[in-house]
Chains A and B, each alone.
Chain A
C-alpha cells in the first residue's frame, strides 16, 4: 500500500502544512482503515517537497499513534522520504508525544 503526498501538493509543491489539512489527508488516504489492516504502508512525496509542518503531521498521524503506539506506527508506516522530511515526521510525532502538564492533560 502506498500513500503519495503529491496527491495533496502536486508535483511541484514545496511545503505541506495545516492541522485540518493533515486530518483531511488522513480521511483521504483512509488511515483509520489502514491502521487496522496488516499491510505495510509506504509514504512517498514529490522531490520538490522541502518541508512538512508539525501541524500537518499531528493532524495526519495523531489517530494512528493513539491506535498503534509509536513503535508499531514506525513499523507499519515506512516513510520513504529524504532526511529533512523524515526529521519533520519525527518532530511531529515528538509534538504528539510531548508531555502536556501545563494543559493539565498528563
Chain B
C-alpha cells in the first residue's frame, strides 16, 4: 500500500474526566498502597544497630507514629497531585473511562475488571495515541494472528487514553474480524480516534456501515459502488429482550435478513453480469442465513437467555482483478455472543454425552494444548449430524443438523471447494477455530442415504483418528460466542447453472 492510498480518518480530541468515579477510585487505591508501603518500610540497618538497643519503648512508639504520619502525607500529596492534575485538556469530545458490561471483552481480556480498577494509573503513563496495527485480518486464512491482534486492541481499553487504529490491509480479506471489532468497540469507552486506512478498506467500511458501528468516520471514494457491493450490518435486538408472547408465530427477523441478502445478491449480479439468482440459488441463500441465525438464537446465549441469543451479520461482494482476470470475491460473516459451542454441547444428555466423552478421551493428546484439547474436540464433535444439546430433541430424534446444513449451502455456493474458488469458512468459538476448506468443505454420508453427514477433518473421515491440525486451530484468546465467517470466489459456472437471465 502506498502512502497516497492511506487516508487519515477521524481526527478528534477529548477531555479527560478526573471526576469519573472509577478514575478517582483507582487513584485512591494507588494512594492507599503507597501509604502502606511506606508505613511498612523497615528502619535502616545502621540506625537500628546503633540506636534501637538503647531506645526506650516510648521512643519506638514515637518513631512509628512519625513514620505513619509521613506515609499519610506522601499518600495525601499523591492524591492531590493526581486528582488535581488535568493531564490532558482537549476539546470537542468527552470520554467516560468507565467499565461497560461486555461478555466478549470479559473473556478476551483476562482479569478485565481488575485491570480496570487501576487503569487510570496506566493511562497516565501512556501519553499520546496508542497505535494498533490491524494487518492480515482474516479468520478464514489467518485465525490465530487475527484473534491476537483483536485481543491486543481490547487490552488497550485499560491502558490507553486514546487509540489509533491503522487498517493496514489493502483489501478487506474477511468481514468476520470487523464484526468482532464492532462488538468489542460497543463494550469499550469511545477510545478510537483515528489512524490510517486504504481506499479499498474505506469503501468496505462505509458500504457495510461498519464505520458507524465503530464510531469512526472514513473518507468515501466516489467510485465506491463500482466494485464493492454491500450487504450492510444487520443486528438482532439484544439477547433476552424478546417480550412477545407469540414471538415464534410472528415474522422472524432472520427470515427478513435472508430476504435482504437475496435482494443484495440479486443486485450485485444485476450490476455485474445482468443476471439474477434462480430458485435454486435463492433457496440456498435463504436456508444458509436462516439456519445460521436460528442456530445463533437458540444456542447463542445458553446460560442467561436460552433460545433468545443475539447476532450480527454483514457481507459484501468485491470485484477484483481487471479484464480477463476479473473475478468476484464474496464475504459473509455471522457473529453471536454468549456461549461457545463446546460449552453448549457439554449439556447434551445421554447417550450422546458418553459418545462425546469417548471421542474426546481418544484424541485428547493429539489436538492443541492439554488445557484446551477437550474444547477443540468437543467443537468438532458438535458439528456432526444428529448431535444436539436438547433433551427433547434427543427424545424425538430431531435437531442437530443445522451445522451440516449450513456447510452444505456454503459448499454449494463455493463450487464444492474447487481450487479456483479459494473458499474457506471459519467457525471460531471459545479458543477453537475450525477451518472448513478443501478437502473438508462439508459432511459426507458414509453409510447410505439415511445416514448422518460426518466431517472429522481427516482423510479417511473417521472419528477413530484425530482432526487435522491445519483445520482445528487453537487460539490464544477466547471468543465467548461463535463467529462463522466465510470467503470464496464466486464460481461463474455455478452462476451459469443457477441464474435466470435478466431478460
Contacts and interface: CB of A to CB of B under 8 A. Distances in A.
A55 B291 contact: yes
B282 interface: yes
B294 interface: yes
B279 A59 contact: no
Q: Which of B351, B355, B386, B394 has the most CB of A within 10 A?
A: B386
B294 A17 contact: yes
A4 interface: no
Nearest to A14: B259
Nearest to B284: A51
Nearest to B308: A20
B451 A98 contact: yes
B252 A21 contact: yes
Given A16-B255, A98-B386, A103-B387, A25 B398 contact: no
Nearest to B282: A50
Interface string A31-59: 00000000000000000001101110011
A48 B399 CA distance: 27
Contacts of A62: 396-398
Contacts of B291: 17, 53-55
Nearest to A59: B398
A26 to B, nearest CB: 10
Interface string B281-299: 0110011001100100110
Contacts of A55: 290-291, 294, 399, 401-402, 405
Contact of B400 (A16, A53, A103): A103
Contacts of B396: 62-63, 66
Contacts of B451: 98-99, 101
Interface in B204-262: 246, 248-249, 251-252, 254-255, 258-259, 262
Interface string A56-94: 001100110010000000000000000010000000001
A17 to B, nearest CB: 3
Contacts of B386: 98-103, 105
B458 interface: no
A50 B290 contact: no
B438 interface: no
A14 B252 CA distance: 12
A103 B463 contact: no
Interface residues of A, number: 40
A105 B395 CA distance: 9
A65 to B, nearest CB: 8
A98 B307 contact: no
Interface in A1-29: 7-10, 13-21, 23-25, 28
A27 to B, nearest CB: 9
A82 B351 CA distance: 39
Contacts of A28: 249
B286 A96 contact: no
Contacts of B282: 14, 50-51
Contact of B384 (A21, A50, A51, A102): A102
A59 to B, nearest CB: 7
B405 A54 contact: yes
Contact of A102 (B258, B307, B454): B454
A51 B289 CA distance: 12
B25 to A, nearest CB: 44
A10 B251 contact: yes
B447 interface: yes
Contact of A50 (B283, B381, B398): B283
A102 B355 contact: yes
A51 B261 CA distance: 15
Contacts of B307: 20
Contacts of B348: 103
B298 A20 contact: yes
Contacts of A13: 251, 255
A103 B397 CA distance: 10
A8 B247 CA distance: 11
A84 B450 contact: no
A103 B255 contact: no
B133 interface: no
Interface in B425-456: 447, 449-452, 454
A95 B463 CA distance: 21
B351 A53 contact: no
A99 B298 contact: no
B388 interface: yes
Contacts of A94: 449-450
Given A98-B386, A103-B394, A104-B352, A14 B279 contact: no
B238 to A, nearest CB: 18
Interface in B120-158: none
B27 to A, nearest CB: 50
Given A20-B307, A28-B249, 14 more contacts: A14-B259, A17-B291, A18-B248, A18-B290, A19-B398, A25-B248, A50-B283, A98-B401, A100-B397, A100-B400, A101-B452, A104-B350, A104-B351, A104-B355
Interface of A: 7-10, 13-21, 23-25, 28, 50-51, 53-55, 58-59, 62-63, 66, 84, 94-105
5 contacts: A19-B294, A53-B294, A98-B451, A99-B447, A100-B386
- 5 smallest A-B Cβ distances: which pairs? A17-B290, A24-B248, A104-B351, A100-B386, A15-B286
